[in-house]
Chain A
Amino acid sequence: MAQYTLDVNGKSQTVNVDSDTPLLWVLRDSLNLVGTKFGCGIAQCGACTVHIDGIAMRSCSIPVSKVNGPVTTIEGLSENGTHPVQKAWKQHDVPQCGYCQAGQMMTAAAFLKENKNPSEKEICSAMNGNICRCGTYPRINKAVKTASKL
């Protein structure tokens, strides 16, 4: 076990875990930020997506010892769900079960910072790494488009 100090959602946090502990479990178990979800643990599904230094990353596959930048999770995307992506998600009532959606929104938020006016094709490709077993993809894509205009 070792001590790691992380900047999570603008707050400095110190945790005591093994160096190989994935950021995902540090967030969920040590810091009580359970909005970031576990889906596969091998960087395949996107459920665990967070931002590190503003870039969308798979928190299940980054050991805490390799985190070198401020972390933003769904809980830190905005106060009370007012980030454009969250607003658009609400406007389109995107979720079914809702489990994949934090990851979807984190991917979308990072993508929209890079591409302010994406085409439909660019949206699909950007979102392709996030699985939704419920099949909410059409609404996800519409919401990303809407968010790009907010």
Chain B
Amino acid sequence: MENKKTLNRRTFFKISGAAGGGMVLGFSWLAQGCKQPEEIAKVLEMPSEWYDINAYLKIGDNGVVTIFSQNPEIGQNVKTSMPMIVAEELDIDWENVIVEQAGLNTDKFPRQVAGGSQSIRQGWKALRDAGATARQMLINAAAQQWEVDPSKLTVSKGIIQGPNGQELGYGEVASMAATMEVPTDVPHKKITDFNIIGSDKKNVDLQNIVTGKPLFGIDTKREGMQYASVLRPPAFGQKLVSFDDAEARKVSGVNDVIKFGNKIAVLADATWPAMKAKKLINAEWAVDSTLESTADHDKQLIAKLNTDNTEPFRNDGDVDKAFSEADEIISRVYESPFLPHNCMEPMNFFADVREDKVEMHGPIQTPAWSRSRASKIIDRKEEDIDVTMSRMGGGFGRRLYGDFSDEAAEISSIAKKPIQLIFTREDDMTAGTYRQAIKYKIEASLKDNKITGYKLSEAAINSNMYGLIPNFFPAGAIPNLRISGNKQKSNITTGAWRAPYTNFLAFAEQSFFDEVAEKLGKDEVDLRMELLEIAKPIAESDEKIEYSPARMQGCIKLAAEKAKWGKQAQGTYQGISAYYSHNTHVVEIANVVMEDGQAVVKKVTCAVDCGIVINPDAATNMVTGGIIDGIGHAMYGDLTFDNGVPSAANFDEYRLIRNTEIPEIDVHFVPSTKDPTGLGEPTLPPAGGAIANAIYKATGTRMYKQPFVKEMNVIG
């Protein structure tokens, strides 16, 4: 499978470097194509020669196409859906496609990040260009061969047809196409001509997943590799004073114990001795800064909620006037705990720091950041560091932070050996980069049966909502509006967690609007539709406003119709939540019934507007998962701190939603020809509000704090 070096061709998308479209994982089982036959009888025949057409694809002399998936795969299915976009524009048979994960190559690829649900949205144009341009090069090559004008040729599924009925397969012209000028401004296909986009394509790794092939970072093996298990301070705010590793070193299979910073790494021939020996290290820790507790955070955050000393993030009209003239004011406080990410695959990373080169491989959402930090930590040039990404057993934001890739690089550099760092679940849960504890105070002024003013104040550990969020709903829907926030510094590491901020804010806001509807004596759907109607003209003139009131109305209509809103039999209670985040509009309606005096969530109906749906069946899977994850964390997710120590370290102490606790989920997409947006995050935020609002109708109890399970006896 040699990459044929191509000459005389201009760089593509400012691509530097010549051969190869990315890192080739030499695994033979990749050669199954995208077909997922019941029995793997038909294996694609591999070409004898590959021709690089551009950074995204190469074509074999037999017409087989390899598409490189440049973004990290965390379960959001971009390894399938992004290549589908390329294949669509290239106009080939999906069954002749092999997908390979590209390694980090910032010269070739624009954005190798899994984050913010942006892979599809931000990749859309470049992926279409890649496919369309390649198609045109193949056409141009055939035209040259037949000595006809390229405009006279047509293409279908990898076969080029000439004006006199001649035919050439892509494989037959690939070598010539690879040397052609790269055309510019090649038109994209008409949306109505799509046949891959919008059809159900199975996960390209499906066969490998169901047969247990080594796909994940934790499965990495290399010659001479040592397994590293790291002892870190048991509490945030502690530092290492001294340690005794005599017992640890006695464990058979242990080869070394290394101190680095405030941590100690045990290196062993296998995982178990490394993990076992780590527990035998006798370390002494001392207080370095403050040992923080949740009880203190609660007091600090409540105080912050009530201080209005920061510049508002958004300030419309005259909020103070609206509140002073109000007939009635509603004021509510919503509170959330910390949350660990709990990817099913614990953090891990491989590093081999050698004289000649540095190799790093593993599950990382931000490979470029890992490389640049490693370069500083081990004092090596970035060009010397190769980073490749494995499939990831979940990301959820945790793998945006490469503390583990930093550790791996540092340990390998000290040990001068290839090492695979592995977190235990306890390491993973207690050395987290948590969703921070946040509190919201939301207030509305009501006058003449209308909402005249809205104030939202955020008090959060370490950081406040990012700049786009204040311009989400209800911005534009209420004339006098102020969104502000304060933060409380903490030594507990916090960061993005699936749908940062909105994962809790949506619950607070959408629960609050239910109370407003009740006060105004309005149906919850009607109130939202009316507010969105008010926001429509404002959203047109105010460029900052992030959501589309019309698209949200479309989602509400679809969800209400599918969920038979207001038409349920007695004993079924419905709650609605409408939330825009990560460029996608989502509405969820929960059905709750009472069983033996307990509220049980029976069903969630969901309507999503994410523009064009690339891979509908996979999109449904993602949407469903987001809702379940949202319900699970609203219901059970809970992490507190006592003197810097997290309250849970493993799944015996931390509850994730389980199979018997899920409701039926019914997913609908708003038909659309708009550019696609992402789905990894946006269906999580509305879930908490939808079930809380339905629980209220069923029980008369409002939820103000997560997890709900602490507030009352509810069952998923």
Contact = CB atoms under 8 A, between A and B. Distances in A.
A113 to B, nearest CB: 18
Interface in B194-221: 200, 202-203, 205-207, 209-216, 218-219, 221
A101 B658 contact: no
A47 B621 contact: no
A148 interface: no
A104 to B, nearest CB: 9
Interface stretch (B169-177, B299-307, B379-387, B625-633): B625-633
Query: Could you say which interface size class chain A belongs to?
Result: 35 or more
Query: Could you say which interface size class chain B belongs to?
Result: 35 or more
Contact of A131 (B36, B39, B651): B651
Main secondary structure of the interface of B (DSSP, over half): loop
A97 B75 contact: yes
Contacts of A81: 40, 207, 210-211
Contacts, number: 201
A69 B353 CA distance: 42
Contacts of A32: 221
B391 A98 contact: yes
Given A75-B211, A93-B621, A132-B344, A127 B393 contact: no
B171 to A, nearest CB: 27
Contacts of A37: 216, 218, 344-345, 393
A99 B394 contact: yes
Contacts of A87: 38
B646 to A, nearest CB: 15
B507 to A, nearest CB: 17
A66 to B, nearest CB: 15
A17 B344 contact: no
Interface in A95-121: 95-102, 105
A70 interface: no
A74 B211 contact: yes
A62 interface: no
A97 B652 contact: no
Contact of A97 (B221, B394, B626, B660): B394
B677 to A, nearest CB: 18
B526 to A, nearest CB: 31
Question: Which of A29, A47, A74, A93 has most chain B Cβ within 10 Å?
Answer: A93
Given A17-B270, A87-B38, A133 B276 contact: no
B272 A21 contact: yes
B370 interface: no
A131 B659 CA distance: 8
A34 B214 contact: yes
A35 interface: yes
Contact of B276 (A20, A38, A82, A97): A20
A133 B629 contact: yes
B425 A42 contact: yes
Contact of B344 (A20, A30, A39, A124): A39
A133 B342 contact: yes
13 contacts: A25-B271, A29-B271, A30-B270, A34-B212, A93-B202, A97-B345, A97-B394, A100-B393, A101-B209, A102-B209, A124-B660, A135-B632, A138-B665
Given A100-B393, A135-B625, 8 more contacts: A34-B214, A37-B218, A47-B344, A80-B40, A87-B38, A97-B394, A131-B651, A134-B75
Across the A-B interface, give the 9 residue pairs with the lowest CB-CB distance, nearest first: A35-B212, A99-B393, A97-B75, A135-B628, A74-B212, A135-B625, A44-B651, A98-B209, A96-B75
